[in-house]
Each structure stands twice: as structure tokens, then as C-alpha cells.
Structure 1
Amino acid sequence: MRKDTSDLKEQKDHGTAIFPCGLYEVKESCRWRGVRHHWHDEIEILYFAKGEFLLHVNMETFSIQEECFYFINPGELHSIEPRTRGKEFAVLFHPCILGFESCDRAQTGLMQLLLQGSMGFPRCLDSHSPVFDRVRREYMEILRTFHEDGYFQREDEQTVTEKFSSQLFIRAGLLGILGVLADSALLVRTEKEFDYRVELIKSSLEFIRRHYQEKLYVRDLACQVNMNEQYFCRFFKKALGKSPISYLNEYRIKQAMLLLQTTDMPVMDICLDCGFNNLGNFLREFKKNTGLTPLQYRKCHAEKKS
């Protein structure tokens, strides 16, 4: 039986209530820390324009070293780790914005399958693909429309648009990409098979997020998915590329960074609140992850904010 993994589902809205489509972007000048594991109901088209990244999707890891597109279908667990500074864009949209009211062949033979989850996007489109340039042209038009007619929502770090003509252009661009992929037989039939490995990882990550403030051991994580410790460690590292303890400490540090940004709590209180029972260990882990001490990080963030 599938365990509840609702907290892994991204809770923020992508786009607006009327037009669920938004743009996220990373500039080369930005020191971006990546995106931790999550999933959502929207389709995500990632464009890696420059730089090196690791992309994790379900149980697979992809090393990105050149310009390419990757597609994330609804419900897929994924994360991004930057290896160098680079340029990356993500357009997220709910497939409902592409549907037609008329029951033509495009609607019944493609759009309905897309909405039902029985048709999906390919995983990757690299620069050697014969349709790469066509997809990139459509994608760049979508970016241009967002940049010219959209507005940036700082709380969600996304660009959205409420201009109705811009929404038409964006929808046309997405349909253009869909048309190119369909014309080249690159869309894939998907069967919603239950993958117990993905569900176990989702369950483990959810357990960490619910209990990171407590004293946790590998045996606690292994026990909640009914595995022995040794096998669980191998399984976890193969799936996420890091040990359970490394992931736990990184998650705790990210929570500490958030508290340093948004509160005036003393460092010792943040240390304890985030599940570290030893200040020295907390300081070592914090500097390993950020290159700064907690007080240096708080000062740096305050200066940037001001």
C-alpha cells in the first residue's frame, strides 16, 4: 500500500489559478544550491543552457554537461544538483491548459492521453537531436514572452503572466513543442506501474522531513521501510547518490539556513531546533555545506536583502 508522501509534493502554485504555467530560471551569476527531491502534478520542461548538473528522476541519475532539454512528467520524484555555475530554465505547466473543447483527433488521440497520464514526454532531447533546434525556438519564444509581459513573484521565485495575449503565445509555444515531438514520434506511451523503489524513497524522505528535529539513526530510517540497515544504506545511496546521514544533515542545514534568514534565534537554539545535539558538529556541517559560519551566513543574507 502506498504510504502518504504528501509533504514531498510541492505545495506552491505554479503560475496563477487561471493560467497554471510559470517560469523559473537560474542565472550564471547566481550561486544556486539546486532543488531537493520533490514531485508535482505539472509537467516540467527543463532547459540546461550552460554548466554542469546532476538531475535525479525517480531511480535514475543523469549527468548534464552540454545544452539539452529534460522533461519531467507528472508525479515523478526529481531533484537537481548544480556542479558548476550555469544557466538553467524550467517551465512548469498543468496539461489542462493545452486541451481543446472540440473532440478532434488531437484532443482524443493526444490531449486526453496526456491528461490521463497514459502519454508522456520523452526524458531527454540533446543538441544532436534533429528536432532540437525546432524545440529550442519554441522554448525561447516562451521565455521571451514571460520576460516581456510577465512579472516576478519573489515569494515563489517564479515569473507568471496575467496578460491574456501572452498566455496565448505561451500556450502556442507549448503546443508547438508538443507538435514537434508528436510529429517525430518522440512522445511515449506510459503505464502507471507501481514502482515500489520510488515509493520507498518517497517514504524515507518524508520520514526525514517529519522527524529531522529528533535524534535519528540509520536503523530508524531502515525500520520504517522494513529493511536491514546495510541494505537500506546501499539502496538509498544508489537512488540519491548520497548516504542517508548525509541527506539528513543536508536537510537539517537547509532548515537552519531558513531560520537564520527569517528569525533572530541564537545559533545554539537553531542548532538544537534542527536536530543537532552538538554545536561543534553543527558548525562543521554548516561550513561544509555553505562555506560560511552561521553568523557569517546571517550577515551575508541581511546585506543582500538590504
Structure 2
Amino acid sequence: MKKSLELLEAIGEPVSQDMKEKLTHGSRQFRMSVHVTKVSSTNNLVLYSHWHEELELLFMLKGTAKFHVGQEKIVVQSGEVIFIQPNMLHSAIRVDQEEIVFCAVLVHFNFLTSLENDRIQQQYIFPLFLQGGRYPLLIHRELEQELKLIPLLEEVRDLYQQEEHGYEMLIKARLFEVLYRLEKCAAEHPPSELPGQSRGGNSSMLAKKTLAYVQQNYNKRITLTDMAQQVNMSPSYFCRFMKKQFDLSPMDFLNEYRISEAVSLLETTDKKIMEISGLTGFSNVNRFTEMFKKTYGCRPMDYRNRLRQNK
């Protein structure tokens, strides 16, 4: 039986230089996976910024989180589903102090295709992976009551974890049923009625480039001009771009990334606070403490002490 729960914790560098997730989902013979993740109330980060080739159906079991998917920003509560298209940059942060638990079902193009290029493949699978934008980004509670996707996704989760004989066929059948219900919803509802059609395109690629630059250089001195030059924008236009893409100013985005790296060092090493401040690119320890307290509501040492007490 596969493990049923993952804890969001420090895992080194989870993404490559172009922000593609390093984690492998499934195997070459079975190109899908299921992940149930628990995020403690002390962790502000719910999902690090990343993308992957698989489409993702994520449903919230507990808590509320704010997701950034492409250019969309959307709050997802327990009992709701978010549909994330392949190759779409996405991340999430917590909204309140409640514990968060979510389940993500990831499916690769090859898992749903067949050797024969039949009508199903041409009319539904190819457009889903190559064009996108047809299905709603958020399946809110009212829409979920109509579609009833979560019971199907929960069955996929249980089948995946228990691995009983023939479970692979049932998983594929249930996933096709999920896509059928989404397709039926898209056919019956005009796009204006659906909450949030995913967008990405060039903006998503520029966001990936910005993220990669921050990931590689966060421990150095970075100016607004340095960041804007990476995507060939003027500083003023770059500020507007980052506000629209991440709902943050460029420097706030940089500092949030630095804080996330600092949290990883606090959780996994015994390095002194002053040393962590320098390793994560802050000009001095007072600035580091100020930014950390703004994000987590406590000083770095208090955060570390709390972790040790919990353990």
C-alpha cells in the first residue's frame, strides 16, 4: 500500500532552473500519481511555484488557500476543486491559520491516449493537453454539487493507495468519467458562467524566467533593475507585471522567496540566525528579522524554538 499522507517540508531544490518540478509522477508504464499533503498552521507556503507536464486535479480536504495559476488568482476552500492545465505555472499560500490538507491527482497525456488516433483522442484529449482553457479553473461548491467530482477523485485516491488487483483499469475509468463531467459542464455553460478560465501564454513564460532568476540569485544583492532586465522590461512596467502575475511587488516577491529558503535552513540545520540571514541574501540580520516577522508573525529564533518543542 502506498503512503497516504505527505507533509509539506524542506525538500532541497524541488524545481529545476526553468521552474519545472523535479518530482516524477508515476512511471513510464503508469503515468499518473496521487498525493495527499498536510500543511501545518505554521507554514505560510502551501505550494511552491512550479509547473509540470501533467494536468492536475486538486481538491481541498481542509482549510483555505490562495492559488496563483498562470495569471489567475483564486481562493480555494475545503470542498472545492481546482483544475490546473499541463505546463501551467502555479503556486499557493495560506489564507488563514487553519491546518490545510489537500489531495492532488496528476495525469500525464500518455496515460489517457491510445495507439489509435480515435475520436476520443482527437475531440477531447488533444484539445485538453494542447489547447486548454475549456474547463473551469475552479469548481466551486455549488458547481461541485452539480458535477460531484470529489467522490470520483476520492475513489481514485483510494484505488491508488490500496493497489488491489486491476486497480489501474478502474482509475483510468474514473478519470475518464471526471473528464466527461467537466466536458458536459463546459458544453452546457457559456464561458462567462464558468469561474476563471486559465490563461498563461507569454506571461507565464516570463514569470517562469523571473522565478528561475530569483531561484539562482536570491542569496546575492539583486535590484529591481536587475530583475526587470531578465525579461527585457522597464522597471516600472516590470512592477505592474509582477503585481498582476503574483499580487506582489518585485522586491516583496524576492523577499518572500528568501524567507522560504530561510525557513528551510531553520528547519533542517543548526546554523545561527545571523548566518542564515547572510546565506539568504538579506543585507543585515535586523532586516531579515523584520521580514520574517512580517511573514510568520514571530522572530526566526521563536519559529525554530516552536519547531523543536513540537518535535
Letter in 2 for 1:23: V
Whole-angstrom CA distance in 2 between matches of 1:185 and 1:294 = 47
Whole-angstrom CA distance in 1 between matches of 2:39 and 2:272 = 33
Displacement of 1:96 in angstroms is: 1.5
Displacement of 1:117 in angstroms is: 4.7
Whole-angstrom CA distance in 1 between matches of 2:38 and 2:118 = 41
**Is 2:216 the partner of 1:210?**
yes
Whole-angstrom CA distance in 1 between matches of 2:297 and 2:85 = 35
Displacement of 1:145 in angstroms is: 2.5
Letter in 1 for 2:146: F
Give the match's secondary structure for 1:9.
Answer: coil
Letter in 2 for 1:61: K
The within-5 A match list for 1:44-83 is 44-65=56-77, 67-83=79-95
Give the match's secondary structure for 1:129.
Answer: helix
Whole-angstrom CA distance in 2 between matches of 1:58 and 1:118 = 12
Give the match's secondary structure for 1:128.
Answer: helix
**Is 2:171 the partner of 1:170?**
yes
Q: Residues 118 and 25 of structure 1: is their aligned pair in 2 closer, same or farther, counting only changes over 3 Å?
A: closer
Structure 1 spans left out of the alignment, 5+ residues: 150-160
Letter in 1 for 2:18: D
Letter in 1 for 2:68: H
Q: Residues 177 and 252 of structure 1: is their aligned pair in 2 closer, same or farther, counting only changes over 3 Å?
A: same
Q: Residues 167 and 78 of structure 1: is their aligned pair in 2 closer, same or farther, counting only changes over 3 Å?
A: same
Displacement of 1:13 in angstroms is: 1.1
Contact 1:218 1:245 in 2 (8 A): yes
Give the match's secondary structure for 1:91.
Answer: strand
Whole-angstrom CA distance in 2 between matches of 1:29 and 1:130 = 26
Whole-angstrom CA distance in 1 between matches of 2:176 and 2:274 = 53
Give the match's secondary structure for 1:34.
Answer: strand
Give the match's secondary structure for 2:92.
Answer: strand
- Residue 285 of structure 1 corresponds to 291
Letter in 1 for 2:176: L
**Is 2:41 the partner of 1:21?**
no
Once the two structures are superposed, what CA deviation does each residue of 1:78-121 show, in whole Å capped at 9, x if it has no partner? 11122122443221121321223345432343334445456864
Displacement of 1:299 in angstroms is: 3.7
- Residue 238 of structure 1 corresponds to 244
**Is 2:115 the partner of 1:101?**
yes
Task: Give the percent of matched residue pairs that are identical in Structure 1 and Structure 2.
Answer: 31
Displacement of 1:216 in angstroms is: 0.9
**Is 2:272 the partner of 1:260?**
no
Q: Residues 30 and 89 of structure 1: is their aligned pair in 2 closer, same or farther, counting only changes over 3 Å?
A: farther
- Residue 154 of structure 2 corresponds to 140
Whole-angstrom CA distance in 2 between matches of 1:167 and 1:67 = 26
Whole-angstrom CA distance in 2 between matches of 1:16 and 1:289 = 38
Once the two structures are superposed, what CA deviation does each residue of 1:163-199 show, in whole Å capped at 9, x if it has no partner? 553333322221110122234445999xxx9833222
Structure 1 residues 61-70 or 42-51, which shifts more?
Answer: 61-70
Whole-angstrom CA distance in 2 between matches of 1:194 and 1:209 = 21
Once the two structures are superposed, what CA deviation does each residue of 1:232-258 show, in whole Å capped at 9, x if it has no partner? 212211211111111111111111111
> Pairwise CA RMSD of aligned residues?
3.1
Structure 1 residues 108-117 or 48-57, which shifts more?
Answer: 108-117
- Residue 179 of structure 1 corresponds to 180
Q: Residues 120 and 271 of structure 1: is their aligned pair in 2 closer, same or farther, counting only changes over 3 Å?
A: same
